[in-house]
Amino acid sequence: MSPSSPLSKNSIPSTVTGVVTEPAKLPGYQHPLDPLTPEEIVAVSLAVRKYVAEKTEVKAIRFITSSLVPPPKRAVLAYLGIPLATGEKPEPAVPIIRKAEVDFVDAVVGNAYNVILALKEGDWTVETLEKLPEGVQPQISVEELLLCEDIIRADERVIKLAKAVGIEPHQLFADGWAIGYDDRFPAKQRIQQALLFARLSQHDNLYAHPMVRNSAAIVAPHVLSADYP
């Protein structure tokens, strides 16, 4: 459901006995399970940057993910007027605190962090900031996936092998997979496993022409993360 659209009849389960809608308490979205709005993501990011600058020694950060922390299912059912069991009355609605979860990487040192924020009185407040264990990394970002392909297409070893089977560098594409930790590399280094495919035309299926049976490990040193905001 779009954050800007009201609750529709088609989105309300048949077991609902009533729907509580108080837009004043739900700014920017219409349902407690709606994902973070673009405005919320900006506000959450700003709150994290401010907290990190004031409370930690981290000098620069690169955001990986920003997402909604789903509220308790029981509270959502009560908000929607849905009973816990057929034939029962729905429980009284309770306040739902909007929460967000953020993963980011220290762009200088390489450590990874997880942050939980809560929306209170119109402002996002950091509740917890946790440094992830060494060797644990957040998921791969879109920017890192694109960077991986740039590295592959510029690698002379890859270019030589691709041309041997009639594939040019611009036709190479990578399906990036996070492999988390590999003791062959530094624990703070973000690593991708790249499965290579050839795309022979603009609308070619990415997986139609696999290039290799064995995967190629593409290492993206954490210092590269300084290129991203």
Question: Rounded CA gap, 37 and 45, in Å?
Answer: 12
Looking at residue 64, what is its pLDDT? 94
Residue 156 half-sphere exposure toward CB, CA atoms < 13 A:
0
pLDDT of residue 187: 79
For residue 183, pLDDT over 60 is answered with yes
pLDDT over 80 at 170, yes or no: yes
Taking CA 201 as the corner, what is the angle to CA 200 and CA 205, rounded to the nearest 5 degrees? 80
Residue 135: per-residue pLDDT: 80
The model's confidence at residue 199, banded by pLDDT at 50, 70 and 90, is very high
Are 9-131 and 142-227 in the same CATH fold? yes
Percent of the chain with pLDDT over 70: 79
pLDDT value, residue 177: 85
The pLDDT value recorded for residue 212 is 60
Q: Which residues pair with 78 in a beta bridge?
A: none
Alpha-carbon torsion, ordered 71, 73, 74, 76, to 10 deg: 60
Burial of 102 (0-12, 13-18, 19+ CB in 10 A): buried
**Which residues does 161 contact at the CB level (< 8 Å), separation at least 6?**
none
Q: What is the pTM of this model?
A: 0.72
Measured CA angle at 102 (ends 98, 108), to 5 deg = 155
Phi and psi torsions of 166, nearest 5°: 85, 20
d(CA 65, CA 78) in angstroms, rounded, equals: 29
Q: Averaging pLDDT over each range in 115-119, 139-143, 197-201, 220-224, which range is the top one?
A: 115-119
Q: Which two tokens stand for residue 149?
A: 């392909």
Higher per-residue pLDDT: 224 or 102: 102
Dist CA 171 CA 216 (whole Å): 17
pLDDT of 125 > 70? The answer is yes
For residue 126, the model assigns a pLDDT of 98
Domain ranges of the chain: 9-131, 142-227
What's the chain's average pLDDT?
A: 82
pLDDT of residue 52: 97
Nearest to 31 by CA among 16, 21, 39, 46: 21
pLDDT of residue 184: 84
Neighbours of 213 (CB within 10 A): 6
Considering the domain 142-227, what is its CATH architecture? Roll (3.10)
- Look at residue 97 and tell me whether its pLDDT is greater than 90: yes
Q: Which residue has the higher pLDDT, 46 or 191?
A: 46
pLDDT tens digits along 126-135? 999 999 998 8
Q: Determine the Cα–Cα distance for residues 66 and 115; give it in Å rounded to an integer.
A: 9
pLDDT value at residue 72: 95
Select from 3.90.1150.10, 3.40.50.720, 3.40.710.10, 3.10.450.40 the CATH code of 9-131. Answer: 3.10.450.40
**Beta carbons of 228 and 143 less than 8 angstroms apart:** yes
Which string of DSSP letters, residue by residue, matches 12-58? S-TT-S-----GGGSTT-SSTTSPPPHHHHHHHHHHHHHHHHHHS--
Instruction: Give mean pLDDT, residues 125-151.
Output: 91
Residue 220 is which amino acid?
A
